[in-house]
């Protein structure tokens, strides 16, 4: 009876179990000498369309956590009497980049005494079954002229890039067992393995590894959940000799449902063997990724080329099922506004099958996101749908989507003419906004024919109405494409446009969002309008470039990218390039072309707080809206649509013209575009899949000859 009574013990939940960051604060204070996770920056690897929980978080030096709230893994070297770790190195001592600048194999290089350490990290698998693995390869080379001896350690700890509780830890042959799940298979069995219980010793594995020793226990249980351990490999390399170690991590192999779904218990059997198969080739993975990359660039500025393509890499890895993500852990939801920009980038990057799924899946929803229903929601929906149509010219798709376009346009018209608030319920919001009083409010009564809509925590008039104007024009275009006569969209758009222009005479520039939406993407402003030019000049001289010195946007980096895009369309590529240079040279994860939002965990989903990692939060990163804006800005520097024409080179700097370069396979509203510049005879030639009604034009200097032709592309 007593045994039966104690069979189930209800777990104790408290604020520490729900918010791991509080526990980490306490542990950092208690054990400042431990080698802690960096928590200064990170990137996120993931199989496209996989669940957020299966995204791998990596810190500089390729210390990582294979999945959210799992455990921390690091490459450490003990040599010449001391422990070398990437956690303790300054950022400028760690090289970190994608393969070829954009293929998502994270490569990090650093030195540990006589050893040169090169690590490769990538994630691959099947998002439909959640059979996803992160692969980690360590290449060690004796870079000295003398023999080098030492120890390679692979520590496993409850904290890291995105760690979680570890209550049991063991090594069985070549398999690492964490929390009763076979989470890792080592291609080469370690020389030794050691683990320890924090509840029994008050120690972390780093206390031992600093001395080049391991604790004696190979199997450990720890009710405190702060257990740690390490694999050890003995090193003895002659000058120039290399050693390679490879590890495969099965994401969430300790989860009860994942075990059943993937048959991990049957697959592993009783002999302790993890039959994950051979380690996949980095080259094969890179080729598969390259095959889905539509745009091929060969440009004089390697930074530009890498930055443009890397944005697509980040954005596509972030996707979940048929949904885009701003960033998977900070914002585990589809935020309509940011998602519209992301889909615009993925579409112009060639990821049309995903965009087809994404827009179809969400067409029935008119206004949603982390802040609830906002005033630009219906416009963003029409933008996404019409953008996909313009890039594919799929009439069947447009027929399917047209009723949704009409409904969203009718909602825009209602908001323009309402004398009462318009609300829409949205249940997928950030924790803060779940009970905020304004979370279901799209707009209040209109004023002077303009929507007084909500965006973020204000009502930026030109943003809301500018996007609505663009959406109504797109709705009119879609109606014409389907041969539908008598649609009211054009008349409503023109009436709204006149109301915007009247307000702009005195009020343009009242909100910082005005400068990043006037020409791009809304098109409500005329680039020759003196009021708008004066406003853009004022912002440039007083905010972005005061006293002749660039003042980067410190918090909302997507705004500066959008401002630069508007300057480009205004004909001020020189000003746009001030910001472009900043984005090319300054990344929150150096070498990986990532950017941030805010100065803390802005608009938190509280999911980082549940992990033992990213506890010293400085900002939200990587940020998808900025990634989208940067891609779209750089893309339009190379080629952009203007009405029924195509313009090449609006933002190509004259310094490039001393070298030959080419762009191939760029998706446009007129099909694929390819162009090539020859420095030998200063000539530009282009082919486009369908001839634009307004032709193809060159924005390069007059001394560059130009010719183009229509050429069908066959897949």
Q: Are 217 and 195 in contact (CB under 8 A)?
A: yes
pTM greater than 0.85: yes
Point out the least confidently predicted range of 16-20, 210-214, 621-625.
Answer: 16-20
User: What does DSSP assign to residue 51?
Assistant: -
Q: Give the model confidence (pLDDT) of 519-538 as tens digits.
A: 999 999 999 999 999 999 99
Mean pLDDT of 579-606: 95
Q: What integer pLDDT is reported at residue 11 of this predicted model?
A: 47
The yes or no reply on domain 20-269+277-286 and CATH 2.60.120 is no
Nearest residue to 255 (alpha-carbon basis) of 327, 311, 194, 178: 178
Residue 276 has pLDDT above 70, yes or no: no
Average pLDDT, integer, range 281-288: 93
Q: Which residues of 495-517 are buried (b: 16+ CB within 10 A; e: fewer)?
A: ebbebbbebbeeebbebbbbbbb
Cβ(26)–Cβ(34) below 8 Å: no
With contact defined as beta carbons under 8 Å apart, do 661 and 305 qualify? no
Predicted local confidence at residue 638, as pLDDT: 99
- Residue 282 · residue 289 · CB < 8 Å: no
Per-residue pLDDT, 3: 42
pLDDT value, residue 265: 73
Three-state SS string over 484-523 comes to: CCCCCHHHHHHHHHHHHHHHHHHHCCCCHHHHHCCCCCCC
* Residue 4's pLDDT band (cuts 50, 70, 90): very low
- The answer to whether the beta carbons of residues 545 and 536 sit under 8 Å apart is no
Pair 109, 117: CB distance under 8 Å? yes
pLDDT of residue 271: 36
Q: If pLDDT is split at 50, 70 and 90, which confidence band does 264 have?
A: confident
Q: Is the pLDDT of residue 439 over 60?
A: yes
pLDDT at 673 over 50: yes
Burial of 243 (0-12, 13-18, 19+ CB in 10 A): middle
Separation between Cα atoms, residue 66 and residue 657, nearest integer Å: 45
- Specify burial of residue 282 (Cβ count, 10 A radius: 0-12, 13-18, 19+): middle
Three-class SS state of 154: strand
Q: What is the number of other CB atoms lying within 10 angstroms of the CB of residue 14?
A: 9
| pLDDT tens digits for range 443-474 | 999 999 999 999 999 999 999 999 999 999 99
Read off the pLDDT of each residue in 125-129 and give the average, rounded to a whole number.
Answer: 96
User: What does the angle CA 689 – CA 311 – CA 617 come to, to the nearest 5 degrees?
Assistant: 165
Q: What is the pLDDT of residues 325-340, one digit of tens each?
A: 999 999 999 999 999 9
Place of tokens 């422990």: 83
Whole-number pLDDT of residue 428:
87
Q: Is residue 679's pLDDT more than 90?
A: yes
Q: What does the pLDDT average to over 339-359?
A: 98
Q: At what angle do helices 395-417 and 352-362 cross, to 10 degrees?
A: 50
Determine the Cα angle at 469 with ends 463 and 475, to 5°. Answer: 135
Dist CA 129 CA 63 (whole Å): 26
Q: In this model, does residue 273 exceed pLDDT 80?
A: no
Average pLDDT in the chain: 95
Top CATH class of 298-627 equals mainly alpha
Q: Which tops the pLDDT comparison, 505 or 269?
A: 505
Alpha carbon distances (Å) from 405 to 57, 377, 386? 38, 12, 9
Domain boundaries in the chain?
Answer: 20-269+277-286, 298-627
Percent of the chain at pLDDT > 70 equals: 95
**Using one digit for the tens of pLDDT, what is the confidence trace for 35-89?**
999 999 999 999 999 999 999 999 999 999 999 999 999 999 999 999 999 999 9
Tell me the pLDDT band of 268, cut-offs 50, 70 and 90: low
Confidence of residue 388 (pLDDT cuts 50, 70, 90): very high
Residue 647's pLDDT band (boundaries 50, 70, 90)? very high
Taking Cα atoms as reference points, which of 499, 102, 65 lies closest to residue 304? Answer: 102
* Percentages of the chain per state (helix, strand, coil), in multiples of 5: 35, 25, 40
Q: Is the peptide bond before 418 cis (omega within 30 degrees of 0)?
A: no
Neighbours of 318 (CB within 10 A): 26
Q: Is the dihedral of CA 561, 567, 571, 577 positive or negative?
A: negative
Q: How confident is the model at residue 10 (pLDDT cuts 50, 70, 90)?
A: very low
pLDDT of residue 279: 74
Average pLDDT over residues 120-145: 97
- pLDDT at residue 242, rounded to an integer: 98
User: DSSP states of 652-699 as a string?
Assistant: --GGGGGS-EEEEEEEEBTEEEEEEEETTTTEEEEEESS--TT-EEE-
Selection from 551, 627, 565 nearest residue 595 by Cα: 627
Strands 63-65 and 56-59 turn out to be antiparallel
For residue 17, what pLDDT is reported?
58
User: Is the pLDDT score of 575 beyond 50?
Assistant: yes
Average pLDDT over residues 186-215: 98
Q: Give the pLDDT confidence score for residue 602 in this predicted structure.
A: 86
The CB-side HSE value for 335 (13 A sphere, CA atoms) comes to 22
* pLDDT over 90 (residue 369): yes
Six token digits for residue 567: 């300057």
- Lowest model confidence (mean pLDDT) among 16-25, 411-420, 618-627: 16-25
- Give φ, ψ of 43 to 5 degrees: -130, 170
pLDDT digits (tens, 9 = 90+) for 608-626: 999 999 999 999 999 999 9
Give the single-character DSSP code of 369. Answer: S
In this prediction, residue 251 carries a pLDDT of 98
pLDDT recorded at residue 101: 97
pLDDT at 270 over 80: no
Report the alpha-carbon distance of residue 107 to residue 96 in Å, rounded: 6
Q: Which residues contact 353 (CB under 8 A, 6 or more apart)?
A: none
Q: Residue 16: its pLDDT value, please?
A: 57
Q: Give the pLDDT of residue 332.
A: 96
Distance CA 101, CA 297 (A): 12
Length of the chain: 715
206 — phi, psi (to 5°)? -65, -25
pLDDT of residue 280: 79
Q: Give CA–CA dist 629/593, Å, rounded.
A: 13
283 token code pair: 């080259």
Q: Decide the pairing of beta strands 175-178 and 168-172.
A: antiparallel
Instruction: Supply the pLDDT for residue 384.
Output: 98
């Amino acid at each position: 009876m007593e045994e039966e009574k104690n069979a189930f013990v209800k777990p104790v939940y408290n604020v520490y179990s729900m918010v791991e960051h509080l526990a980490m604060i306490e542990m950092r204070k208690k054990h400042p000498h431990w080698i802690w996770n960096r928590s200064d920056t990170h990137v996120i690897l993931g199989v496209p369309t996989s669940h957020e929980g299966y995204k791998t978080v990596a810190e500089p030096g390729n210390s990582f956590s294979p999945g959210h709230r799992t455990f921390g893994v690091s490459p450490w070297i003990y040599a010449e009497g001391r422990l070398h770790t990437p956690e303790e190195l300054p950022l400028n001592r760690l090289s970190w980049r994608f393969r070829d600048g954009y293929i998502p194999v994270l490569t990090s290089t650093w030195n540990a005494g006589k050893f040169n350490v090169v690590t490769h990290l990538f994630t691959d698998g099947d998002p439909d079954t959640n059979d996803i693995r992160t692969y980690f390869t360590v290449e060690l080379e004796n870079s000295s002229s003398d023999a080098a001896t030492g120890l390679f350690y692979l520590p496993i700890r409850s904290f890291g890039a995105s760690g979680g509780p570890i209550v049991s830890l063991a090594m069985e042959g070549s398999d690492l067992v964490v929390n009763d799940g076979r989470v890792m298979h080592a291609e080469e069995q370690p020389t030794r393995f050691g683990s320890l219980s924090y509840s029994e010793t008050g120690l972390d594995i780093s206390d031992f590894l600093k001395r080049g020793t391991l604790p004696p226990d190979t199997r450990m249980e720890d009710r405190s959940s702060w257990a740690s351990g390490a694999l050890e490999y003995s090193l003895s390399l002659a000058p120039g000799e290399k050693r390679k170690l490879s590890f495969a991590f099965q994401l969430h192999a300790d989860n009860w449902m994942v075990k059943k779904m993937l048959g991990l218990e049957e697959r592993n059997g009783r002999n302790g063997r993890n039959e994950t198969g051979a380690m996949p080739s980095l080259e094969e993975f890179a080729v598969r990724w390259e095959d889905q990359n539509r745009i091929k660039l060969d440009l004089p500025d390697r930074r530009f080329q890498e930055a443009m393509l890397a944005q697509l890499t980040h954005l596509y890895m972030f996707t979940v099922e048929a949904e885009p993500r701003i960033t998977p852990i900070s914002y585990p939801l589809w935020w309509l506004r940011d998602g519209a920009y992301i889909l615009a980038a993925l579409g112009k990057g060639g990821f049309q099958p995903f965009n087809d799924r994404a827009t179809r899946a969400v067409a029935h929803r008119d206004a949603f996101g982390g802040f609830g229903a906002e005033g630009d929601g219906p416009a963003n929906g029409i933008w996404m749908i019409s953008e996909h149509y313009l890039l594919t010219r799929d009439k069947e798709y447009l027929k399917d989507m047209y009723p949704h376009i009409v409904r969203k346009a009718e909602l825009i018209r209602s908001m323009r003419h309402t004398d009462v608030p318009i609300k829409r319920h949205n249940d997928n919001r950030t924790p803060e906004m779940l009970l905020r009083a304004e979370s279901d409010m799209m707009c209040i009564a209109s004023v002077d024919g303009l929507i007084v809509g909500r965006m973020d925590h204000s009502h930026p008039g030109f943003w809301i109405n500018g996007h609505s104007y663009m959406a109504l024009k797109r709705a009119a275009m879609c109606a014409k494409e389907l041969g539908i006569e008598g649609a009211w969209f054009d008349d409503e758009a023109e009436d709204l446009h006149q109301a915007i222009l009247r307000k702009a005479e005195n009020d343009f520039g009242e909100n910082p969002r005005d400068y990043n939406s006037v020409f791009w993407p809304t098109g409500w402003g005329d680039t020759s309008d003196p009021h708008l030019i004066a406003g853009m000049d004022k912002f440039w001289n007083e905010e972005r470039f005061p006293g002749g010195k660039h003042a980067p946007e410190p918090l909302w980096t997507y705004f500066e990218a959008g401002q630069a895009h508007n300057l480009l369309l205004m004909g001020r590529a020189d000003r746009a390039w001030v910001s472009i240079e900043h984005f090319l040279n300054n990344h929150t994860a150096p070498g990986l072309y990532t950017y941030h939002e805010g100065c803390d965990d802005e608009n938190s989903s509280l999911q980082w707080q549940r992990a033992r990692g990213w506890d010293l939060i400085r900002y939200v990163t990587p940020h998808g809206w900025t990634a989208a804006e940067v891609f779209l800005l750089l893309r339009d520097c190379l080629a952009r649509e203007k009405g029924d024409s195509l313009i090449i080179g609006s933002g190509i700097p004259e310094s490039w013209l001393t070298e030959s370069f080419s762009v191939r396979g760029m998706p446009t509203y007129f099909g694929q575009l390819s162009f090539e510049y020859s420095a030998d005879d200063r000539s530009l030639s282009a082919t486009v899949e369908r001839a634009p009604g307004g032709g193809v034009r060159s924005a390069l200097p007059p001394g560059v000859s130009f010719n183009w032709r229509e050429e069908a592309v066959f897949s």
